[in-house]
Amino acid sequence: PDVSMTLNGVLGGLVAITAPCDLVTPFASIIIGAVGAILMCLAIPFIDTKLKIDDPVGAISVHGVCGLWGTLSVGLFASDTTAGAELLGLFYGGGLKTLGVQALGAVSIIAWAAVIGAVLFLVLRKVGILRATPREEVEGLDSTEHGLASAYPDFVTSYNENKSF
């Protein structure tokens, strides 16, 4: 087992159950979390290899994909009938209404994030602070940004005062 994928699977399950946590049964929460973990495991290689997006910690998969699944799972698994307000998902006889509302919300969030992200990255690129300089890329951000010889000291075999290995 891969420790980072295991931990990301746990995080993916927790992210997935966050949106519907007060609206679903305990059994449904287990299903939602398990599906979230599986989706995360499938999304990481897809985002890295097919979309060619550099996401070394899997944040897009954990928070984006599993958050989207959790949002949509409200429309599938909601079973809340408390306080006189009935909110039922598709699997509990609520029809497509709740799922449609959740899907519209998800599309709205994706559109907002895409527009704001595009504007932000365009501004950062124009200002010249989006990427590290070529010198920093060669030298490494551990030393140029953080003043460290390496963030992975176990991999360093020798080190001198000139910050060369």
Q: In the 8-state DSSP scheme, what is residue 95?
A: T
Of 48, 52, 75, 74, nearest to 61 by C-alpha is 48
Burial of 87 (0-12, 13-18, 19+ CB in 10 A): middle
Q: What is the pLDDT of residue 47?
A: 95
- Measured torsion, CA atoms of residues 17, 20, 22, 24, in degrees rounded to the nearest 10: -90
Q: What is the pLDDT of residue 163?
A: 56
Give the pLDDT mean for 9-18: 96
Q: What is the pLDDT of residue 118?
A: 97
